[in-house]
Amino acid sequence: MGASFDSRTYFTDDKKVIQSKWDADVEHSQYMDGCSYSGSISMLYGYIDFVRRGPFDSQEQASDYISENACKWDGPMAVPFKIQGGKAVPSYVKKATEKYQAAELKKEELRITIGEDFYNAKSQFVGCKKCKSKLSRSFLKSTFCPICNQTLLSTTSLQRIEKAKNRVNEMYANLDKARFKAREQNCTGKIGYVVGGICSS
């Protein structure tokens, strides 16, 4: 009873897409090559083991890694590689991403802080500006009036939240522009996967 290496290559890093395409390729191999000691990927059914490591510089290196590290009777192994022709993601995209993420984090932290300040305020009651209800903070489950659904936050708090949202939108717009520029320059840093293993024959 022997064994041989077999694999398939997918030019995407979407793991759900890879698993779906792999399952279809395995099913096709089972139909064409059989399900018993075929020496093909028909023997590698099941969930894919995505190796946690940085991508290799080429598809060939990823294939070599699988053939050298996979064991007979193991399931399919997936190894990432850099798709040739794509330049590395430029620093301006990374910086734009960091600024966007920082703005999102700051917005979320502000939302939490304002909420805590609202519930921990010294005054026991809060008035609704729309329906004029006087509400006990201890019974409120949100910062909206339970009667008319009007926000109970102060104008200052609402302005701070709006400013944070605008900042997020601005940073996202900058990130979108940076990504578009990178695509135009073929600086996508796209990753593909080789999936395969040692197949009994």
Whether 97 and 164 map to the same domain: the answer is yes
Residues 101 and 149 occupy one common structural domain: yes
Residues of the chain falling short of pLDDT 50: none
The 10s digit of each residue's pLDDT in 146-173 is: 999 999 999 999 999 999 999 999 999 9
Residue 50, CB half-sphere, CA atoms under 13 Å: how many? Answer: 14
Q: Are 108 and 163 contained in the same domain?
A: yes
Same domain, 117 and 175: yes
Do residues 108 and 166 share a domain? yes
Whether residue 95 sits in one domain with residue 83: no
State residue 182's pLDDT score.
84
d(CA 68, CA 76): 13
pTM above 0.75, yes or no: no
What's the N-to-C CA distance of the chain in angstroms? 6
Q: Are residues 82 and 116 in the same domain?
A: no
Q: Which long-range contacts (CB under 8 A, 24 or more apart) does 111-120 make?
A: 111/161, 111/164, 114/143, 114/153, 114/157, 114/160, 114/161, 115/143, 117/157, 118/143, 118/152, 118/153, 118/157
| Cα gap 95→169, rounded to integer Å | 16
Token pair listed for 42: 């028909």
- pLDDT of 42: 82
Please check whether residues 120 and 179 belong to one and the same domain. Answer: yes
Q: How far apart (Å, rounded) are the C-alpha atoms in residues 199 and 37?
A: 7
Query: How many domains in the chain?
Result: 2
| Whether residue 178 is found in the same domain as residue 195 | no
Amino acid (one-letter) located at 24: A
133 shares a domain with 97: yes
Pick from 83, 53, 57, 74: nearest CA to 196: 74
Residue range of the domain that includes 47 = 3-87+190-200
pLDDT of residue 86: 67
CA nearest to 111, candidates 157, 46, 148: 157
55 and 100 share a domain?
no
Whether 66 and 197 have beta carbons less than 8 Å apart is answered as yes
φ/ψ of residue 192, rounded to 5: -120, 175
Same domain, 95 and 175: yes
